[in-house]
Amino acid sequence: MGRQTTVQEKNAIRFGSGKFEVKPEGGEYINLGAMREIEFEETWEKVRVMSDNAGAIVLGIRNHQAALKGQMMEINLEKLKDLRGGLDTYETQAGTKETDVDQAVQAGSWSFGKFIKIENQNHDLGEITITTVKGNSTTYTADTEYSKVQDASGNWGIIVIDGENDADEAHALTINYEYTPAAHKSIQSGHTMSINPVAVRVVNTNEDDKEFIIEVFKATTEDGITLSLPADDDEDPAMVPINLMGEVDTAGETNRLFKIYDYQT
């Protein structure tokens, strides 16, 4: 038998999973890391008004919803707190200060005026102590050749200032710093019954670095934490299922529920 058709648009065939991100109210998108079984699902209830003599006269929908769900493999308590919309209190306990920590920034991976995040942050996101910044065997001067700054999420890093030193972007950098990690982290729940909505999205990037994005604008977690601990010899790690159900954002832009962006085709 011959072929029934041919591929109409090759770039519309999707491969691979995606990056699952959550944005708390007033915050930035947070990458939840390694996931399994990522799924988007739109649902509604169909409304049908019947007449006695002319069949259905009104057809429509109600309870229009959209969900993004998956299995969270990296059990990060702070990220769990963020996606649960304020149900929990997150705390850290200070550990032992780490000194003389070197961070190598490869040539070509940074540029003048661009934020370079410090790999390890203080347990409470307090100000990082930077000892030295070196490039091309030259020690840079703070506030003249580089600036220590925070990003929108409160993480500390540096920006190398253009035109104030002899370095160029072909050189590697070495950042030497001190930080205090957490001895332990905790979330505590039960003090509130209200949930703040979050935005959630999945970003699929193809081999041409083009994105396919599904974004739900106002979602809340549907389920509490379920954490099953596998057997000691099990090849799979413990995972937390998450299910973020979105409803129409009547306070947002023109009653938005979700949007799908396609930059791949």
What are the E-state strand segments in 106-239? 116-117, 129-135, 138-139, 146-150, 156-160, 173-179, 182-189, 198-205, 211-221
Widest distance between CA atoms in the chain: 88
User: Mean per-residue pLDDT for 171-176?
Assistant: 92
Please report the pLDDT score of residue 158 as a whole number.
Answer: 96
User: Is the same domain home to 16 and 58?
Assistant: yes
In a domain, 24, yes or no: yes
Percentage of the chain modeled with pLDDT above 90: 63
Q: 214 pLDDT exceeds 80?
A: yes
In a domain, 73, yes or no: yes
User: Is the same domain home to 204 and 80?
Assistant: yes
Q: Beta 211-221 vs 258-262: how paired, if at all? A: antiparallel
User: Is the same domain home to 40 and 147?
Assistant: no
User: Is the same domain home to 82 and 155?
Assistant: no
In the chain, how many domains are there? 2
User: Is the same domain home to 133 and 165?
Assistant: yes
| Phi, psi of 2, rounded to the nearest 5 degrees | -75, 170
In a domain, 240, yes or no: yes
- 132 in Cβ contact with 141 (< 8 Å): no
In a domain, 164, yes or no: yes
For 34-66, write each residue's pLDDT tens digit.
Answer: 999 999 999 999 888 887 777 777 788 889 999
In a domain, 258, yes or no: yes
Per DSSP, 250 falls in state T
User: Is the same domain home to 204 and 236?
Assistant: yes
Q: Centre a 10 Å sphere on the Cβ of residue 65 and count the other Cβ atoms it contains.
A: 17
Least-confidence region, from 12-16, 89-93, 116-120, 212-216: 12-16
Q: 150 pLDDT exceeds 90?
A: yes
User: Is the same domain home to 42 and 14?
Assistant: yes
Please report the pLDDT score of residue 128 as a whole number.
Answer: 95
Confidence of residue 13 (pLDDT cuts 50, 70, 90): low
Q: Which of 128, 155, 180 is the last residue of a domain?
A: 180
- 130 in Cβ contact with 105 (< 8 Å): no
Q: Which domain holds residue 239?
A: 10-90+187-262
Percentage of the chain modeled with pLDDT above 70: 91
Least-confidence region, from 6-15, 174-183, 234-243: 6-15
User: Is the same domain home to 28 and 153?
Assistant: no
Cβ density class 186-213: b for 16+ within 10 Å, e for less: eeeeeeeeeeebbbbbbbbebeeeeebb
Q: Which of 127, 161, 180 is the last residue of a domain?
A: 180
Please report the pLDDT score of residue 249 as a whole number.
Answer: 86
User: Is the same domain home to 174 and 195?
Assistant: no
Q: Which of 145, 180, 215 is the last residue of a domain?
A: 180
Q: For residue 234, what is the domain's CATH number?
A: 2.40.30
**In terms of Cα–Cα distance, which of 47, 58, 161, 171 is closest to 114?**
161
User: Mean per-residue pLDDT for 197-217?
Assistant: 94
Q: 15 pLDDT exceeds 60?
A: no
